[in-house]
Amino acid sequence: MSFYSLVRPLVFKLDPEKAHNLALSFLKFLPKTARLFCSKKEYKSLKTSVLGLSFDNPIGLSAGFDKNAEAILSLQNFGFGFIECGTTTPKAQIGNELPRIFRLEKDKAIINCLGFNNLGAEVFAENITKSLPNLTTNLGINIGKNKETTNALDDYLPLLKKFYLDANYITINISSPNTKNLRDLQNEDNLDEFLEKIMLCKKELIAQHNKKDTPIFLKIAPDLSEKEQENIAKAVLKNQFDGVIISNTTIDRNLGLQSKNITQAGGLSGKPLFEKSNQVLKNFYQLTNGKVVLIGVGGISNASDAYEKIKLGASLVQIYSGFIYEGFGLVEKIKKDLDLLLKKDGFDNISQAIGINNKIT
Give every CB contact of residue 195 below 8 A, 6+ residues apart in sequence: 218, 235, 236, 238, 239, 241
User: Of 86, 148, 141, 96, which is closest to residue 118 (Cα–Cα)?
Assistant: 86
Give every CB contact of residue 93 below 8 A, 6+ residues apart in sequence: 115, 116, 117, 118, 120, 146, 147
* Per-residue CA distances from 62 to 5, 18, 81, 258 (Å): 22, 19, 11, 25
Asked if 176 is an active-site residue, the reply is: yes
Strand order of the sheet with strand 101-104? 101-104, 109-112, 267-270
Question: Which of the following is catalytic: 176, 269, 277, 301?
Answer: 176
Q: How many CB atoms lie within 10 A of CB 352?
A: 13
Pairwise CA distance, residues 341 & 349, whole Å: 11
3-state secondary structure of 82: strand
Pairwise CA distance, residues 319 & 89, whole Å: 22
Pairwise CA distance, residues 234 & 211, whole Å: 26
Burial of 176 (0-12, 13-18, 19+ CB in 10 A): buried
* Per-residue CA distances from 45 to 158, 297, 343 (Å): 39, 21, 9
Pairwise CA distance, residues 279 & 87, whole Å: 25
Q: Which amino acid is at 250?
A: T
Active site residues: 176
